[in-house]
Amino acid sequence: MSQPSSSSSFQSLFNAALQDYANRTGTKLDDHPIAQQLEKCASVDSISSLLQDHARQFSDFRGEDGKIMKSLKRAVHTLYTLSASTALGEGIGLVC
């Protein structure tokens, strides 16, 4: 009985991981826009550049000055102001 080659074992594990991801998220990774962009890359430099660009965009999005934090700060500020108001404070409670 022959043992499977390491590349076929890896391919089996990789395919199982892709299927598990699709089952858990409802999204096939090969349909993801980044995967499609990676397929067009022809060098290590182009792959690195693409991943760095996406990492930078994500950092800008979620970073301290990113969109999420700005939205959260505005929401918390508004809720805190409303809860600190004597007229509305009793009904809302203090937001901390």
Contact 29, 35 (CB under 8 A): yes
What is the per-residue pLDDT for 86?
58
What is the per-residue pLDDT for 17?
92
Q: Whole-angstrom Cα distance, residue 40 to residue 72?
A: 37
Task: Give the DSSP letter of residue 85.
Answer: S
Task: Give the DSSP letter of residue 4.
Answer: P
Q: At what angle do helices 44-62 and 67-84 cross, to 10 degrees?
A: 10
Joined tokens for residue 75? 């929401």
What is the per-residue pLDDT for 53?
92
The number of CA neighbours under 13 Å toward the Cβ of 78 is 6
Q: Whole-angstrom Cα distance, residue 18 to residue 56?
A: 26
Rounded mean pLDDT for each run of 10 residues along the chain, 96 residues in total: 69 91 91 90 91 88 72 79 63 50
